[in-house]
Amino acid sequence: MKKLFSLLFISLLFLGCKSDDNDNVEEQEQLAIIGNWRLVDWYDDVPRDINGDGNASTDLYSQWNGCRKGNILVLKEDFTTRLIYTGTNNNPKCPPGLETNDTFTIEPWYYDSSYEELVFMGSDYLDPYEIMELNDTTLVLKGSGIFTCCDPDISYFTDGYLKFQRE
Q: 151 pLDDT exceeds 80?
A: no
Q: What pLDDT sits at residue 28?
A: 79
> What is the DSSP secondary-structure string of 52-112?
SSS--EEE-GGG---TTTT-EEEE-TTS-EEEE--S-TT-TTS-TT--TT-EEEE--EEEE
Element (H, E) at 24: helix 2-33
Cα separation, 74 vs 55, whole angstroms: 33
pLDDT confidence of residue 111: 95
Model confidence pTM above 0.85: no
The fold adopted by the segment(s) 34-166 is Lipocalin (2.40.128)
18 pLDDT above the threshold of 70: no
CA–CA gap between residue 97 and residue 56 (Å, rounded): 33
**What is the structure's pLDDT at 66?**
82
pLDDT at 156: 60
- Split at pLDDT 50, 70, 90, the class of 157 is confident
In this predicted structure, the answer to whether residue 153 has a pLDDT above a threshold of 70 is no
Contact 72, 84 (CB under 8 A): yes
> What pLDDT score was predicted for residue 112?
94
SS3 51: coil
pLDDT at residue 150, as a whole number: 62
pLDDT tens digits, one per residue of 61-111: 999 888 888 899 999 999 999 999 999 898 888 888 999 999 999 999 999
What pLDDT score does 147 carry? 77
Pairwise CA distance, residues 135 & 33, whole Å: 9
